Amino acid sequence: MLNRRRLLSVAAVAAAATACAAPAPVPVPVPAPGPTPRLRMRGADISFALQLEAAGSTVAADGGVRPVESVLAAHGANLVRLRAWVDPPTGYSDLAMALRLGRRAAAAGCAIHLDLHYSDFWADPRSQRIPAAWQGLDGWALAEVVRAHTRDAVAAFAAQGTPLSMIQIGNEVTWGMLWPVGQIVAGPQEHWDGFAGLLHAGLAGAREAAPDLATMVHIERSGDPGGSRRFFDTLFGRGIDVDVIGLSYYPFWHGSLDDLTGTLHLLAERYGKDVLVVETAYPSGLPADDRADYFVTDADDLPDGDRFPPTPDGQAAFFEELRAVLAAVPGDRGAGFCVWEPAWRGHEVGVRHGEGNPYANLAMFDDGGRPLPALAAFRP
């Protein structure tokens, strides 16, 4: 039986696919796609789009510059993921920017997935800082702020006529969020109560604003089935319930596609929930020199590099195989994938002000902003 908030209803998926398929496909050379079953979710995180456009970095198709979400939708994408920090540095991803991109995503016919970081800047397994405005709040007061912040963000998308299809409570929360209150590991012991309370508050806020909104918890243990199982066993054992399990999968950090397959199958079978690869990327080339600010500088960084070399065709072949891996998840629980910042190809916008872009060679567009063959992976 389908969960009533299962990622998207069959009708909603069909509507999104129809809307996104409306524009004429952008002609690009692509490898012959394999006969893989349909993936319900095929999307991208485009949170840097406004900054990239302001810096003069654009993408092109059909002989002219086009919005990135339109190019992705023309290739079959039906989901846009947007992050929102609480009070970030000027020009970085705040709620107002997410709302603006949400309007564009909806106009392109794509569903909207909101990634709330509950931090003023990057939140991941290395850093989950409490926003400056929330500093000094105890556990109960902080949970109330999380609930209200989540509720108001969800309501804001609905108020502008672009309701969310899915929300994740925190970003890569393997070790908790809003440290130290929600930090799981502090000293020799683990502490789950604070994290579980904050997560429960965020879920309550989301459902207060939109009772049928699909919810997600997102970790980065995609190559570690044992660690993923331990995390979700502990979390679900505390009464937390979400509709979707989200995983980051960057092969140069998380292992081979075989490693990913083991984790996807275990999670889908053990918990009976949809699993979405909510962040992923693969290189289309290597930097000319061994620059320290690139994450992938050598083919040896890639565990499946012999099968999928860091070339445009190798990148396309990797995404074809990722589609096949997801389609093979038991129970049709491999919901799909979301490519992280596929248009972030240059150094006009950095990870932080004054810094470079270590993901530059992971983009799905070439140096001139033209689509690469890997965009075929978004097809229905």
Supply the residues annotated as catalytic. 172, 279
- Name the CA dihedral angle for 95, 50, 279, 90, rounded to a multiple of 10 degrees: -50
* Torsion angles phi and psi, residue 292, rounded to 5: -70, -20
What does DSSP say about strands 189-190 and 185-186: parallel, antiparallel, or unpaired? antiparallel
* Share in percent of the chain as helix, strand, coil (round to 5): 35, 15, 45
Distance CA 215, CA 276 (A): 12
Say if residues 361 and 283 touch (Cβ distance below 8 Å): yes
Distance CA 380, CA 180 (A): 43
Residue 47, SS3? coil
Distance CA 160, CA 207 (A): 18
